[in-house]
Amino acid sequence: MENTSTPVRLTYADLCRLPDDGLRHELIDGEHYVTAAPTYRHQRVAMNVAGLLFMFLREHRLGHVYMAPLDVLFSEVDVVEPDVLYVSEERLRSQQEDRYLEVTPELVVEVLSPSTKHVDRGAKRRLYERQGVTEYWLIDPLLETVQVFRRERDRFEVAADLVRQRDAAPASLSTPLLPGLQLSLDEVFD
């Protein structure tokens, strides 16, 4: 992910005026971040997570899962496109826009890429923490790890550090946001 280092703070209106160039354009505190198209491995992992969440949510009717590209508008200067996100039915009741998500997701998942991991672990993590996201998953498709941050009071705390181990019983990913959900890391990374 590349910060274009513009001295002025951009807004959502500025973002909307950019040409559709196939890149992911995001704003964090008005700073413009541009990301190239993700790799096939990144997309496979993101799709696996979204698909598993979709199947669980279809059965349990607790909310909805979405994938990038979908703008999440926290403010006029904070607009991001998480790889995967979950929003409960309760929060979606206050959603009024069709163009972007204006409610804070309960769960945000970012799949790390070499070019984005420093922003996902830094600026985005701080943004999600500040905006009231309940849980944040950082998934590394190369190392086959998942780091789970869960909100404790007003801060993210590490709730789990999971590693896929091929010669052992598969580690499992769960969240109190979705009681009964168990995602095997084998399913996430296959």
Q: Tell me: the pLDDT tens digits for 125-149?
A: 999 999 999 999 999 999 999 999 9
Q: How high does pLDDT run on average in the chain? A: 94
The string of DSSP letters for 99-161 reads SSB-SPPSEEEEE--TTTHHHHHTHHHHHHHHTT-SEEEEEETTTTEEEEEEEETTEEEEEEE
Ordered by where they begin, the domains of the chain are: 38-189 (3.90.1570.10)
For the chain, give the percent of residues with pLDDT over 90: 85
What is the value of pTM for the model shown?
A: 0.93
CA 135 centroid distance within chain? 10
